[in-house]
Amino acid sequence: MIEIKSLTKIYEDGESAGVTAVNDISFTVEEGRFYTLLGPSGCGKTTTLRCIAGLEKANGGEIIVNGKKVFSAKDGTFVPAYRRPIGMVFQSYAIWPHMTVFENVAFPLRVGKERFNSADVKKKVGTALAQVELDSYQDRMATQLSGGQQQRLALARALVREPQVLLLDEPLSNLDAKLRERMRFELRELQRRLRITTLYVTHDQIEALSMSNVIAVMNSGVIIQEGPPREIYLQPKSQFVANFIGSTNQLTGQITKIESGDTAQVRTDDGEIACSALEGLKVGSKVVVVVRPESVNLHHQKPANHANLLEGKIGAAMFLGEYVDCTVELGKNILQTHQRYTLQVRRGDPVWVELPAAECMALPVEQ
């Protein structure tokens, strides 16, 4: 388990006042869970990870790993990186080029506080390499491995000490698309099998959505929204999250009516839309209505018994294999929609756009 309390990290620049990379963030990674910090580059996610690893010394807050305080600004606790019960995989893999595959994995067993005899080292390295299916490469020089193999080697090295916590810093970003997809799956399977508490850092929303138990979306050093992948995707609580995860249509408007529960009526340039609204919005609030392209339904004729219908005409339709990417021109806005490949339309065809109220979210406008 990892507990982060009010963590703050400021990079002193020498000349300027310093850059606040992480600004008073708190979160908890439950035992055996896969927790992801997701955000654009420079959002502070890697800095957070490095503070937990002990590679950076934070300026404020507290870090508790498995019940043991490893950092606290208040009482000055700072357990050095090499004494923390943590395994880590780096973005560049950081495979030592002057060692063989075996030596790379054996290294943590030979330098740590706990020493092992050579038979144990051999056995543990064998097990770790078998976990990542590299056991037949033991005597190769590490640099002779392919990118994907180096990545797995880095994982074996991080796991060989049987750490209580695993930190992964964009481990898949240097792999090609196909391999990345497979490694996503393998990594998650391995984590499930070992039940190791894992903190994962990435800027890739697909990785975050597909692997995590919990995602924290970060921006400018703070956590914007935390929740399970489904919630992050379907119920973004801010424009930033909606924009950052997946593609989104945004219609600006003003709330005209708040109804029972969390539904509201929003007047946009292209008509009234009923949608779910974030708590705290009032009649008259300026909002953006966000709706995912795949939520939008198109009809050739005006369907009966449907609310939230807007009139428009087809802009461009692109066949992408899995779906048709079809834009619809409303009066003022252009909607991006994903339709089944069976859709037969031409540019300029009039259509009726149905926006399911449950999948439309009204969010406060951000600057």
Partner 1 sequence: MATATVARPGRVSFSLDPALLIPLVGAGVLVYLAVLPLLMLLVGSFQAEVAPREFIYTLKNYQAAYASEYTYSTFMNSLIFASGAAILSFSLGTVLAWLTERTNTPLRRIFVPLAVVPLILPGVLESIAWIFLLSPKFGYVNVWLMNLLGLESPPFNVFSLPGMIWVHAVGQVPLAFLLMVAAFKSMDPSLEESAMMSGANTLQTFRRVTLKLLLPTAGSVLLILFVRTLESFEAPALIGIPARIYVYTSEIYLAFNDYPPDYGRGGALAVGLLLLSAVGVWLYTRATKEGKKFQTVTGEAFRPRQFELGALRWVGFGFLTSYFLFVVLLPFLVLFWASFLPFFATPSWDAVSKLSLDNYRYLHGFRPFWDAMQNSIILATLTATVAMMLTSLVAWIVYKSRLPGAWILDFLAFVPITIPGIVMGMSLILLYVAFPIPIYGTIWVLLIAYVTRYIPYGMRSASGSIMQIHSELEEAASASGASWWETFKRVTLPLLRPGLVAGWIYIFIVSFREFSTSVLLATGDSRVLSILLFNMFEQGQVTVVAAIGILMIATLLTIVAIFYKFTGRVGIQS
Binding site for partner 1 (CB under 8 A): 14, 53-55, 80-83, 86-88, 90-98, 107-108, 111-113, 143, 154, 157-158, 161, 167, 174
Q: Distances in Å between the alpha carbon of 30 and those of 68, 71, 159, 210, 228? A: 14, 18, 19, 18, 13
* Residue nearer to partner 1 on the CB measure, 11 or 323: 11
Q: Distances in Å between the alpha carbon of 168 and those of 22, 150, 154, 325? A: 18, 14, 10, 34
* Residue nearer to partner 1 on the CB measure, 54 or 227: 54
State which H helix or E strand residue 108 sits in.
Answer: helix 101-111
Buried b or exposed e, range 6-17, using 16+ CB within 10 angstroms: ebbbbeeeeeee
Query: In the bound complex, what is the minimum distance in angstroms from residue 22's beta carbon to partner 1?
Result: 15
Query: In the bound complex, what is the minimum distance in angstroms from residue 286's beta carbon to partner 1?
Result: 40
* Residue nearer to partner 1 on the CB measure, 33 or 161: 161
Q: Distances in Å between the alpha carbon of 266 and those of 19, 275, 336? A: 40, 7, 20
Query: In the bound complex, what is the minimum distance in angstroms from residue 295's beta carbon to partner 1?
Result: 36
Query: In the bound complex, what is the minimum distance in angstroms from residue 88's beta carbon to partner 1?
Result: 4
Interatomic CA distance for residues 235 and 361, integer angstroms? 7
CA 269 to chain centre: 33
Query: In the bound complex, what is the minimum distance in angstroms from residue 183's beta carbon to partner 1?
Result: 17
Would you tell me how many other CB atoms lie within 10 Å of the CB of residue 114?
7
Query: In the bound complex, what is the minimum distance in angstroms from residue 55's beta carbon to partner 1?
Result: 5
DSSP assignment letter at 124 = H
Helices H / strands E in the chain, number of each: 8, 21
DSSP 3-state assignment of 189? helix
Q: Is the dihedral of CA 55, 61, 63, 68 positive or negative?
A: positive
* Residue nearer to partner 1 on the CB measure, 197 or 285: 197
* Residue nearer to partner 1 on the CB measure, 152 or 292: 152
Q: Which two tokens stand for residue 83?
A: 């004494």
Interatomic CA distance for residues 258 and 99, integer angstroms? 66
* Residue nearer to partner 1 on the CB measure, 153 or 289: 153
* Residue nearer to partner 1 on the CB measure, 29 or 86: 86
Cβ 200 vs Cβ 211: under 8 Å = yes
* Residue nearer to partner 1 on the CB measure, 86 or 255: 86
Query: In the bound complex, what is the minimum distance in angstroms from residue 340's beta carbon to partner 1?
Result: 39
Residue 33 one-letter amino acid: R
Query: In the bound complex, what is the minimum distance in angstroms from residue 105's beta carbon to partner 1?
Result: 10
* Residue nearer to partner 1 on the CB measure, 12 or 133: 12
Query: In the bound complex, what is the minimum distance in angstroms from residue 188's beta carbon to partner 1?
Result: 21
DSSP 3-state assignment of 360? strand
